[in-house]
């Protein structure tokens, strides 16, 4: 009898090795190598359309047509996907446990079932009765929404052939398995093979499929990195359990922008859209407090006004602390060094804590000016004007550099009642006169400080 062969596979990155090692040589994670049996498959995987003989075509001879996207009743969800669900697409949604992934997809399934045709919701973690209890709480009542509790991919595929749905949800990919793969469900081999099979179903049958993915303790989607490369779009559902707001962010999208963000509020009857997030983020803002500024940041095609808070206090350690929440922590010491060198604010013996209020994460350079003014305001213990919005990138020489889409940012600030917009001087020509807000252009961080703290 032939001896079965085994190999060790990293559950984080998919690295394979014939012997066990404590640390993965590829991703450098500890204790992630798991023993799996090596199975020789008789079928050859040829990718999308396997088994169908195809010949190369000239790109100019290929006929295309603009297919209508499947619209849901949530414009926020449609925006993140680039305008709606593309037929035949494979979308991966990841997020922390209990954040609302299943709730969101069950609501989307009900809306699509009411608008289009049959929708199949496959749950590998809950029974059909448990799914029904959640559906009753969310008000899901469509007769064209079918629920299946199954984890065997072969049985799922046969049910898809019988029902012929127009939309499929897999919750979650870590619970689905193929009989040909001997490893446990959720392993690298199972996740890779099941995702590949679902991709073939989506492309060949022209059915959009949404799959839910578990995340690791670092926040990344569990399984091999190749999982994110295989799908058409990757969406992250973020938020804090202690707050009711949830953020749906696209990090990969073959059919739209990768910087779009949709904001929802978790209520007892399900997720509700937040149509004006700027008002939500600024509604609890304190007036006349040192260290508080407002910046207009772009999230994809939408401008969002958020509050940046800073706290500068004398340190009790040999080395001052620099902490940041919501922005890159390396940006805080960089901007403080510019303030020390170019403005003369000596903060070497000061602890600095910077936070973006509301749980939003900002990563664009246009927030530099607001962060710098916020730090200077807390250091001087002098409040900024509550009706000022600050936009601009700060260079290492202290200059204020221009940013993109300045008119949309200023227009959003004017709509919320702000009176002054302090922006880069080179961006002032891009603002139309019809916007009801005073625009002040600055060329350096010193000039911005003079304008901000100038007595009226």
Summarize the confidence of residues 417-435 as an average pLDDT: 91
ω into residue 172 within 30 of 0, thus cis? yes
pLDDT at 293 over 90: yes
DSSP helix/strand/coil, 351: strand
| 98 labeled part of a ligand binding site | yes
pTM for the full predicted model: 0.77
Q: Which CATH superfamily is domain 71-275 in?
A: P-loop containing nucleotide triphosphate hydrolases (3.40.50.300)
> Is 203 one of the annotated binding-site residues?
no
What was the pLDDT predicted at 225?
A: 66
Measured torsion, CA atoms of residues 275, 277, 283, 285, in degrees rounded to the nearest 10 = -170
Number of residues that this document lists for the chain: 456
Residues 6+ apart with CB under 8 A from 440: 420, 421, 422, 423, 451
Confirm or deny that 392 is annotated as ligand binding.
Answer: no
Instruction: List, for residues 156-167, the tens digit of each pLDDT value.
Output: 999 999 999 999
* 300 has binding-site annotation: no
Is residue 151 a contact partner of residue 123, using CB atoms and an 8 Å limit? no
Which two tokens mark 87? 């037929």
Tell me: is residue 171 an annotated ligand-binding position: no
Residue 203 and residue 186: Cα distance in Å, rounded?
23
pLDDT band at 46 (very low <50, low <70, confident <90, very high): very low
Residue with tokens 């808070």: 309
DSSP per-residue string spanning 202-260: HHHHT--EEEEE-B-TTSSBSS-THHHHHSSEEEEEEE-TTSSEEEEEEEEETTS-SS-
Encode pLDDT of 84-116 as tens digits. 999 999 999 998 888 899 999 999 999 999 987
Closest C-alpha among 337, 328, 302 to residue 445: 337
Would the annotation count 101 as a binding residue?
yes
102 has binding-site annotation: yes
Pick the CATH number of 280-452 from 3.30.230.10, 3.40.50.300, 3.40.50.720, 3.30.2010.30: 3.30.230.10
Q: Is 297's pLDDT higher than 90?
A: yes
Taking residues 185-202, what's their average pLDDT?
89
Domain ranges of the chain: 6-37, 71-275, 280-452
User: Are both 71-275 and 280-452 of the same fold?
Assistant: no
């Amino acid at each position: 009898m032939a001896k079965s062969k085994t190999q060790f596979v990293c559950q984080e990155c998919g690295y394979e090795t014939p012997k066990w090692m404590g640390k993965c040589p590829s991703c450098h994670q500890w204790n992630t190598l798991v023993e799996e049996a090596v199975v020789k498959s008789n079928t050859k995987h040829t990718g999308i359309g396997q088994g169908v003989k195809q010949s190369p075509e000239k790109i100019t001879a290929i006929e295309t047509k603009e297919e209508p996207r499947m619209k849901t009743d949530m414009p926020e969800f449609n925006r993140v996907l680039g305008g709606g669900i593309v037929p035949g697409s494979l979308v991966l949604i990841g997020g922390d446990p209990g954040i609302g992934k299943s709730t969101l997809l069950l609501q989307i399934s009900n809306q699509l079932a009411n608008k289009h045709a049959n929708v199949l919701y496959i749950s590998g973690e809950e029974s059909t009765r448990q799914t029904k209890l959640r559906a009753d709480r969310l008000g899901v009542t469509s007769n064209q929404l079918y629920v299946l509790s199954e984890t065997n991919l072969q049985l799922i595929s046969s049910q898809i052939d019988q029902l012929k749905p127009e939309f499929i949800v897999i919750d979650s990919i870590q619970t689905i398995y193929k009989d040909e793969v001997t490893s446990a469900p959720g392993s690298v081999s199972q996740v890779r093979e099941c995702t590949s099979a679902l991709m073939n179903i989506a492309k060949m049958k022209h059915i959009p499929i949404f799959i839910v993915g578990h995340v690791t303790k670092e926040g990344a989607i569990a399984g091999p990195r190749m999982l994110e490369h295989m799908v058409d779009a990757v969406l992250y559902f973020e938020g804090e359990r202690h707050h009711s707001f949830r953020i749906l962010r696209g990090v990969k999208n073959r059919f739209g922008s990768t910087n779009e963000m949709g904001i929802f509020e978790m209520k007892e009857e399900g997720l509700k859209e937040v149509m004006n997030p700027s008002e939500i983020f600024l509604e609890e803002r304190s007036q006349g407090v040192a260290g508080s500024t407002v910046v207009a940041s772009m999230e994809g095609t939408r401008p969002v006004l958020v509050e940046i808070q800073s706290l500068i206090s004398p340190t009790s350690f040999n080395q001052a602390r620099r902490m940041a929440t919501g922005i890159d922590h390396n940006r805080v010491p960089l901007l403080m060094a510019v303030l020390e060198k170019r403005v003369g604010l000596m903060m070497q013996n000061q602890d600095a804590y910077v936070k973006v209020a509301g749980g939003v994460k900002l990563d664009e350079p246009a927030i530099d000016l607001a962060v710098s003014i916020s730090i200077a305001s807390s250091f001087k213990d002098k409040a900024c004007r509550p009706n000022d919005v600050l936009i601009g990138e700060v260079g290492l020489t202290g200059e204020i550099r221009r940013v993109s889409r300045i008119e949309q940012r200023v227009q959003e600030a004017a709509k919320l009642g702000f009176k002054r917009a302090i922006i880069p001087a080179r961006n002032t020509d891009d603002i139309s006169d019809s916007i009801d807000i005073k625009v002040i252009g600055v060329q350096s961080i010193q000039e911005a400080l003079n304008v901000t703290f100038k007595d009226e």
